[in-house]
Structure 1
Amino acid sequence: MVLRERRGRLGFYLLFALAVTASVQLVGVYLVFASLIVPSLAVRHYPEGRKLPFAYLVGVGGYGIGLVLSVMLDLPSGAPIVWCLALLSILAYAFGPRRPAALA
């Protein structure tokens, strides 16, 4: 059982490393790492059941709005997507649940 779990983790990390390496070469460092990190930062104080759906909404919304702006303004796609991801994340964080108070 332990060996199966370790093999599963190793497989995940190897696949993740290959995917990140390939995608960085295709679309660039900023876009890949903004896609990985920014939505999760936006929903870090959300309840457990809502983190994943809201993170997906931030990611899909950032990509969608960024691509639309890219087409409308005739810009390369990477920068508008990163900016839209960042702005949507700031909004999701600002209007989301407050951080729980520290236990005294």
Structure 2
Amino acid sequence: IISGGFNIYPSDLEALLRSHPAVAEAAVVGMPSVEWGETPVAFVVLQPGVDLAAEALRQWLNERVGKTQRLAALHLIDELPRSAIGKVLKRELRDAYATR
């Protein structure tokens, strides 16, 4: 993801999100942005039985990263789309978000 001329590595943000006790899985994708070129957007699956607002989790992450790495949005979803071999299909996440 290149945002405002800075490289943002989705794996770094995903690892930080997974370190939160409420998070089971996370994927971060770059979404087109008129202002920045791309902005990071996270898709998160919470641990079973956990009730946590998406905005609270987004703020938690944004407090722990530099301002160039901050998430533009965070969406809670039931499961991450995966290929037959178990790889997260980030293009599907990007396409689903873009149609909202």
TM-score (norm 2): 0.29
Structure 1 or 2: larger strand share?
2
Structure 1 or 2: larger helix share?
1
TM-score (norm 1): 0.28
Specify the structure having the higher radius of gyration (Cα): 1
